[in-house]
Structure 1
Amino acid sequence: MAYPYSKGWFIKELKNAGITHHPVEKRKLENYKTHIIRSLWMEKVKNQQS
């Protein structure tokens, strides 16, 4: 279980949306810091839910 809005939570949400790698650099999400993953989540997942 990941705490809401923690790095693990963002990764879980992105993987549920089908995103497993960074769209530009093609590296696994786990290699990035939380602020990069959060901004990716806001671009891809949160905007699709609105």
Structure 2
Amino acid sequence: MHKYSKGWFVQQLRAKGIKLHPQLRCHLGLFKESELRNLYYQYVENEQLDTE
């Protein structure tokens, strides 16, 4: 799996416990890569920056 691909974003979000879209409650695989990237930066990257 290539880093920053759609599958990679899904894998990273699921590793953080996000299995459904936080607002729409749909499976992550239904969304475009751009939407998954936004979720990743919102919930994963920002969380890591806040803890440092």
**Which category of TM-score, normalised to the shorter sequence, fits these structures?**
over 0.9
State TM-score, norm by structure 2: 0.91
Give structure 1 regions of 4+ aligned residues with deviation exceeding 3 angstroms: none
Identity %, equivalent residues:
37
The two structures, once aligned, show a CA RMSD in angstroms of 0.4
* Structure 1 unmatched runs, 5+: none
Structure 2's unaligned 5+ residue stretches are: none
Q: Distance in 2 between matches of 1:3 and 1:25?
A: 27
How high is the TM-score relative to the length of structure 1? 0.95
Q: Which has the larger radius of gyration?
A: 2
Superposed counterparts of 1:1-50, under 5 Å: 2-50=1-49
How many residues are aligned here?
49
